[in-house]
Amino acid sequence: MTERLPVILDVDTGIDDALALLYACASPELELIAVTCVAGNVSLAQVARNTLGVLELAGRADVPVAVALGADRPLVKPLRTTEETHGPHGIGHAALPATGQREVASVGAAQLIVDVARRRPGEVQLITLGPMTNLAAALDLEPRLPSLLRGWTFMGGAFRVPGNTTPTSEWNVFVDPDAAKACLAVWAASVGADPGTRLPLGMGLDVTESARVMPADVARLTRRAGAAEEDAAALADPSTLMQSGGSVAASPALRFVVDSLRFYFEFHAQYDGFYGAFIHDPFTLAATLDPSLVRCEPVFVDVEVGPGLAHGMTVADWRGITGRAPNIAVATSGDAATFLDRLIDRIGGLAGVSGS
Ligand code: RIB
Ligand code: CA
C-alpha cells in the first residue's frame, strides 16, 4: 500500500462532520493523527462529546487519535451556533454511546497542531471542517505553519455561488470571518515569500453543494453494511421514509447515520427544497484524499469582515484586478457521483464491520 497521508481533522461536529469522521476511520490511505474541536455548529463541549462518541462508534478504539479542545468562541464575534441545522445536540435525531476509554488531550488544539507539524515537518495535512479559529490560534503560535504543514484543506467559503448563511457568506466563514481572513493572509504572505508554497485547497459551496445524499443513497449504504433488504428498502419508501428498523436499528453505526441524516434531511427540505442533504465535510475530506475528485483554480481570496450584506464574504479576485498572487486553490467543479459511491462504500463497510 502506498504511504498513508497523515491528517489532523479540525471539526465542529455536527452531522456532516460526523460523517467525515466515519469516512476518515474507513479510509486506509489516511493516518488520522488527531482531531481538534472548535465551537461552531454547536458549543465546544458538545462538539467534543460528539467527536469522542463518533470515534467510539467507528470502532477504532485501536487508533490512538488525540482529541483536543480548541476555541470555544470566534476571535472577535460572539459565538453563533446552529441547532436548527444539526439538532439540539449537533447530531440530529441520533444518540451516541457514552464514550469509553478515550478522553480529550491535555494539550489544546492550537498547540497540538503546532507540535505535530514541528515533529513531522512537511508531512501532515490539516483539514479544517468548521470555523478556522483553531488554525488562526495555531498560526499565532507558529507563523511558519504553511511551510511546516504538508498542506491545508478547508471546507468554507462561497466563491462563485451564494452563501448558505447570508446571501454572500458560508457558515464556517460567517461564524469566524476574522479567523478566515487571518489564515488566508498568512498563506498569502507565505506564497509571497516562497512561490513554491503549496496552495490551500478551498472546498466551498461551489462544489460541496453539487453532491446531495438522498434516501436512496442511505438505503444503498445500509445494504453495503449488510442490512436486510426490507430494512434497507424501507428507508427510501415514502411510507416509512428514513425510519431505522430491524437490522438497521440493530446496528449502532447504521442507526446513527440514519437518525442523524433524517434531521439533516428535514432541515434541507425546509430551507433548500429537497429531502436530502449537502454533506460538505466528507466531500472535503474525500477530495483531499483523492484530488482527482475536483478541479481547482488558483485565485487570490480575501474575506470581508466589515458590516453589511457582504459581511463574511469570501471575495475571489478571478480577474486578477488586485494584482495579488493567488493564495488558495478553489475547487470549481467536482465528481459528486464518484464521491457518493465512495462514501456509501466506505461508511457502509465500516458500519458493517463495527456496527452490526
Ligand atoms: O457551510 C457548511 C459547513 O458549516 C459545514 O462544515 C457544516 O458542518 C457547518 O460547519
Ligand atoms: Ca463542519
> Distance from the CA of 42 to the center of ligand 2, in angstroms?
10
> Distance from the CA of 38 to the center of ligand 2, in angstroms?
9
**Looking at residues 28-47, what average pLDDT do you find?**
97
Ligand 1 atom nearest to 12, measured from its CA: 10
Strand partners, 67: 35, 104
How would residue 1 be classed by pLDDT, with cut points 50, 70 and 90? low
Q: Which of 250, 248, 226, 228 is nearest to 352 (CA)?
A: 226
Ligand 1 atom nearest to 171, measured from its CA: 1
Decide if 136 is inside a domain: yes
* Residue in 281, 284, 285, 314 to alter for ligand 1 test, most ligand atoms within 8 A of Cβ: 281
Rounded CA separation 77/229 (Å): 49
Give the pocket of ligand 1 (CB within 6 Å).
12, 14, 16-17, 40-41, 129-130, 155, 164, 170-172, 280-281
> Distance from the CA of 279 to the center of ligand 2, in angstroms?
9
Bridging pattern class, strands 294-299 and 201-203: unpaired
In terms of C-beta distances under 8 Å and separation of at least 24 residues, what long-range contacts does 181-186 make, across chains too? 181/302, 181/303, 181/305, 182/75, 182/132, 182/136, 182/139, 183/132, 183/135, 183/136, 183/139, 183/152, 183/154, 184/301, 184/302, 184/303, 184/327, 184/328, 185/302, 186/139, 186/143, 186/145, 186/146
Decide if 124 is inside a domain: yes
Strand partners, 314: 303
Decide if 282 is inside a domain: no
How would residue 355 be classed by pLDDT, with cut points 50, 70 and 90? very low
Comparing 58-62, 154-158, 258-262, the range with the smallest average pLDDT is: 58-62
CATH of residue 161: 3.90.245.10
* Residue in 129, 161, 173 to alter for ligand 1 test, most ligand atoms within 8 A of Cβ: 129
Residues 210, 211, 213, 214: what is their CA dihedral angle, to the nearest 10 degrees? 40
Decide if 340 is inside a domain: no
pLDDT at residue 61 tops 70: no
Ligand 1 atom nearest to 155, measured from its CA: 6
Relative to the alpha carbon of 172, which ligand is closest?
Answer: 1
Catalytic residue numbers, as ranges: 280
Decide if 335 is inside a domain: no
Q: What does the block give as the cell for 117?
A: 507539524
- Crossing angle (nearest 10°) for helices 336-350 and 15-25: 70
Q: What is the pLDDT of residues 154-209, one digit of tens each?
A: 999 999 999 999 999 999 999 999 999 999 999 999 998 988 889 999 999 999 99
- Residue 60 belongs to domain spanning: 5-204
What is the pTM for the complete model shown?
0.97
Decide if 89 is inside a domain: yes
Q: Which of 348, 202, 197 is nearest to 288 (CA)?
A: 202
- The sheet carrying 66-69 orders its strands as 66-69, 30-37, 5-11, 125-128, 151-155, 201-203, 328-334, 294-299
Decide if 57 is inside a domain: yes
Q: CB of 140 within 8 A of CB of 44?
A: no
> Distance from the CA of 171 to the center of ligand 1, in angstroms?
6
Helix (H, G, I), strand (E, B) or coil at 284: helix
> Looking at residue 356, what is its pLDDT?
44
Helix (H, G, I), strand (E, B) or coil at 46: helix
Decide if 213 is inside a domain: no
> Looking at residue 354, what is its pLDDT?
47
Ligand 1 atom nearest to 40, measured from its CA: 10
Q: CB of 311 within 8 A of CB of 305?
A: yes
Total domains in the chain come to 1
> Looking at residue 64, what is its pLDDT?
75
> Looking at residue 97, what is its pLDDT?
75
